Amino acid sequence: MIFNNVTYFKRSDFILFLVTLYLLVIQTGFVILPDKNQSDNHVGDLNKTDVQTLFARLRFKQPANFMADPDEGKFITYGEIYGNDLISGIRLDVRNWLSYDDLKFLMSNLGSQEPCKSMMNIFSSQRPDVESTIGGFAAMFLDFYRKNQLFHPLVAISTNNPDQVQELKEWWKNYKNENTRYFEIGDVMVKVYQLNNSDGELNEDFLCSGKVISYKNNLPVDSLIFNDMEAVGDRYGLNFNSQPVKGIVIGTKFGDYDGRLILIDETGKIQNHRGGFFFISKDQRYIVSFWHSDIAGITIYDLKDRKVKMDEETRIYPAFWYYFDGEYYISRFQSQPERMETDEIYRLDLEKGKLEKSEITLSELQNGEKVQMFNSEHCECN
């Protein structure tokens, strides 16, 4: 009994010792517990916070006399812990985070000398003690974007740097004509970059370049690059405007008399086939694309089996596509003596991947439904 009491007191003393040590560590500043003001200034996972909201939190609250509140916190904290994952809520892929409109917002704040709070990672043991500026943070995030770097500093203090501002302005002149699109398929991210080299000015080459990159868990998987896409009298550039099928990203490359059908699946693999405008069959089974080229041809892609069913040159150019009585038909295009569709009709067998001449008349066919093509709008590298 006496032994048990002694053991008990030893355990309680040890627990008291741990509590006392913990409080001493906190007071010495090695561990920072969020006080009320700090928790009010916690923004959490930056991936889930848009940049304009973040800047609103960085700004000091302005009372009626427009003087900053001296009692307000001097920094905000960011980051979250998701279970055992110490990375996802801390590390920010700036290129994925910022949209084109966000970049314009940052550029509009680039020269601002307005004082603001600094930023601190939740894992930091050191509080920021230097005042930042709105323009400094605008420059910082633009620079991370420009260099395609991840943002995860323990302490972020940013003030205006005239040399950096000038560099960013020069970069923006070239970059502002670049169109960037983002698509997600599960944990795969697809980024489509397109740059108009001519800047729309006269007496310059009407060319543009494009790049498609796929990532899985932020690591690159596959890429496809097009240099100097040329108009050759028609549309040119990359068009990813239409995404009618879930689980796959579809795009079209125009120009150079070499239209391409671009497909990216859930693995991140990029497929590059001959093509152009496309439509999806009624049963959502096939992608059908007519070649945007000086050579007539058709590509059929089987979405179920994930393979090409047809990739063949044809001797006819389609005037219109029709859906009639459960089948797909093409009226032949005739350029001479005048541009028109003719009575020469062909049926497209999707299952066999064959184009066969049909006995159906144009007048019968016109009672059916005209097929609407995706990515058929005119584009000039935009």
pLDDT average, residue stretch 147-161? 85
Rounded to whole angstroms, what are the CA distances from 343 to 69, 127, 149, 335, 366? 79, 79, 59, 14, 11
Nearest to 255 by CA among 282, 292, 284: 292
Rounded to whole angstroms, what are the CA distances from 78 to 100, 118, 320? 23, 11, 56
Query: Which pLDDT band, with edges at 50, 70 and 90, does 213 fall under?
Result: very high
Residue 153 confidence (pLDDT): 86
N- to C-terminal Cα separation, the chain: 85
Give pTM, 2 decimals: 0.56
- Count CB neighbours of 330 within 10 A: 25
Who has greater pLDDT, 372 or 96?
372
Structural Rg of the chain based on CA atoms: 30
Query: Which pLDDT band, with edges at 50, 70 and 90, does 298 fall under?
Result: very high
> 236-270: per-residue pLDDT in tens?
899 998 899 999 999 999 998 899 999 999 999 99
Q: Does position 78 have pLDDT exceeding 60, yes or no? A: yes
261/314 Cα distance (integer angstroms): 17
Cβ-in-10-Å burial (0-12, 13-18, 19+) of 372 comes to: exposed
Who has greater pLDDT, 32 or 129?
129
Tell me the three state secondary structure of residue 179: strand
Who has greater pLDDT, 61 or 72?
61
Tell me the three state secondary structure of residue 96: helix
Query: Which pLDDT band, with edges at 50, 70 and 90, does 87 fall under?
Result: low
Instruction: Classify residue 259 by its DSSP letter.
Output: -
The residues near 241 (Cβ < 8 Å, ≥ 6 apart) are 374, 375, 377
Q: Does position 11 have pLDDT exceeding 90, yes or no? A: no
- Residues of the chain with pLDDT > 70, as a percent, come to 78
